Structure 1
Amino acid sequence: MTAHLPARLPARLPARPHRRPRTVDGGCDPAGRRPRHPRAACAGDPGHDPRALASRFAHQLVEVLTGARPSGQLMRHTSLDGYGQLASLVRIGALRRGGAADRPRLGPVHDRSPSPDAVEACVRVDLGRRHHMVAFRLEQRGPAGQWQCTAVEAR
């Protein structure tokens, strides 16, 4: 079976569409929205929702604890003590999977904010027939106010 090819290619390929021009204030959108940056989720902007932050971090943390994600990916989002606790939990296999088909299911993330620059959260994780609890604390640190995990527990 032979594919039908055009007898001749066009002399000039169409030009690629241009990106949106930058506005005067450096944004990419005339509506005033700024481009999304990978660290935007961890930046300490005052309008940031701690509940959404705790939920996103809980998912990433459980992926690390179950072995679906390498722990090094959370290194810059944890303090030195927090990373030590996380590495220890990974090493002892705190959230072991019962089998290859067992996928972790997270319950609702329960969070509270003891101060404006700290969030404490916990989440129930179902792995097959086993249930685990994961608790962690996030604090705003450094001159940029980046959120970092300072403590992790899993049972």
Structure 2
Amino acid sequence: MPTPPARPAATPASGRGRKGPPGRRDSRRPEPQRQRQQRAGAATARPSDSALRAAAARERERQPPFWFASRLVLVLSGQRPVHSLLRHTRSSAYDQLTGLATHAPLRPRGADRSSPAVLEAHGSRPRDGVIEAFARIVTGDRQRAMAFRLELCPDHRWRCAAVELDGRSAAGRQ
């Protein structure tokens, strides 16, 4: 039986015998000059206003006063159960929060059923490991005030130590 003729060795230019996927020939692929222009433009390009606003909102939400104010609003409006803040509060503050939440003081009422929202939340540090914070909350067409105290615990977590809504604690409401 005769042996088949030997094939000529494949060259890289012919594309046969290559290891790997075939070369891409796509008209949508950017030209090298265009890529250079894009890289040069990216260094001088300014982020859009919406991207800057989104970054500022993410930074604001990472701050302990805003984070706690948002969670407290969810509990006091009846959107979340009180026990969702159990590991984020000290026992005395949990009792205050339970007393406030039974009345759901931030629950939307009347014709305007919009959810309450935190307009701003800020805090001051009277000493290391303590933040005295306040928040302005909007419920419908009304603005409310909330004050709370955060303490840094030995496990390096901020925990709420006291809560007041509209200048009154839960003891004053009963």
TM beyond 0.5 = yes
RMSD over aligned CA atoms reads: 1.9
Match of 1:119?
131
4+ residue runs over 4 A deviation = none
CA distance in 2, matches of 1:52, 1:116: 16
Instruction: Give the one of 159, 165, 170 matched to 1:154.
Output: 165
Instruction: Give the one of 117, 122, 125 matched to 1:105.
Output: 117
C-alpha deviation, 1:53, in angstroms: 1.3
C-alpha deviation, 1:145, in angstroms: 2.9
Identity %: 38
Alignment length (residue pairs): 105
The within-5 A match list for 1:54-73 is 54-73=65-84
C-alpha deviation, 1:146, in angstroms: 2.2
Show structure 2 runs of 5+ residues with no match: 1-59, 167-174
Instruction: Give the one of 84, 89, 97 matched to 2:95.
Output: 84
Instruction: Give the TM-score taking structure 2 as reference length.
Output: 0.56
Match of 1:53?
64
Higher relative contact order (CA closer than 8 Å, sequence separation 6+)? 1
Show structure 1 runs of 5+ residues with no match: 1-48
Deviations 1:108-141, CA, capped at 9 Å, x for gaps: 1121011110001111111112221111000012
* Structure 2 CA distance for partners of 1:114 and 1:66, relative to 1, 3 Å: same
